């Protein structure tokens, strides 16, 4: 069974770039904002969420907060990707496992996906 990464960003081009950064061995799902992502997660949880910090409807921090409030979702690692200077502290306070600055470095995205959602589990 393939591991699943949910990419959440209101910009379709950024979603496409993030999807390109993730190894093709993963299944990548997309959402245009946190509210859509939350609805998708409640239907089918994923293995990792990569989310933009600032979006309409529900931003990345709000998505983290909403996931932490739901027992079925709170164990899913969330990586916040944003240009906000105070994002690292806010991301950890809201339950994100990591923060990446925008603009992001594609190899850094690939590394963080493998770190928090490895394709092979250690023995």
Positive/negative CA dihedral, 122, 19, 21, 33: negative
Going by C-beta distance under 8 Å and a sequence separation of 6 or more, which residues neighbour residue 80? 51, 53, 60, 61, 64, 87, 90, 91, 94, 96, 98, 99, 100
3-state secondary structure of 90: helix
The CATH number of the domain holding residue 59 is 3.40.50.2300
Q: How much is the pTM?
A: 0.91
Judge contact between 74 and 68, C-beta under 8 A: yes
pLDDT digits (tens, 9 = 90+) for 82-94: 876 666 667 777 7
pLDDT band at residue 110 under the 50/70/90 scheme: very high
43 lies in some domain: yes
Judge contact between 118 and 22, C-beta under 8 A: no
Mean pLDDT of the region 98-116: 92
The whole-angstrom separation of Cα 59 and Cα 62 is 5
pLDDT higher than threshold 60 for residue 33: yes
122 lies in some domain: no
Q: How many other β-carbons are positioned within 10 Å of the β-carbon of residue 74? A: 13
Containing domain of residue 24, as a range? 4-116
pLDDT band at residue 55 under the 50/70/90 scheme: confident
- Residue 121 is predicted with a pLDDT of 61
52 lies in some domain: yes
121 lies in some domain: no
């Amino acid at each position: 069974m393939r591991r699943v990464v949910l990419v959440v960003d209101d910009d379709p081009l950024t979603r496409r770039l993030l999807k390109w950064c993730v190894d093709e061995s993963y299944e990548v799902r997309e959402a245009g904002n946190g509210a859509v992502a939350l609805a998708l997660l409640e239907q089918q949880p994923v293995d990792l969420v990569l989310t933009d910090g600032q979006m309409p409807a529900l931003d990345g921090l709000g998505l983290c907060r909403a996931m932490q409030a739901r027992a079925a979702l709170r164990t899913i690692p969330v990586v916040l990707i944003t240009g906000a200077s105070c994002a690292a502290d806010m991301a950890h306070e809201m339950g994100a496992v990591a923060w990446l600055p925008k603009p992001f470095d594609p190899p850094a995205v690939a590394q963080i996906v493998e770190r928090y959602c490895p394709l092979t589990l250690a023995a």
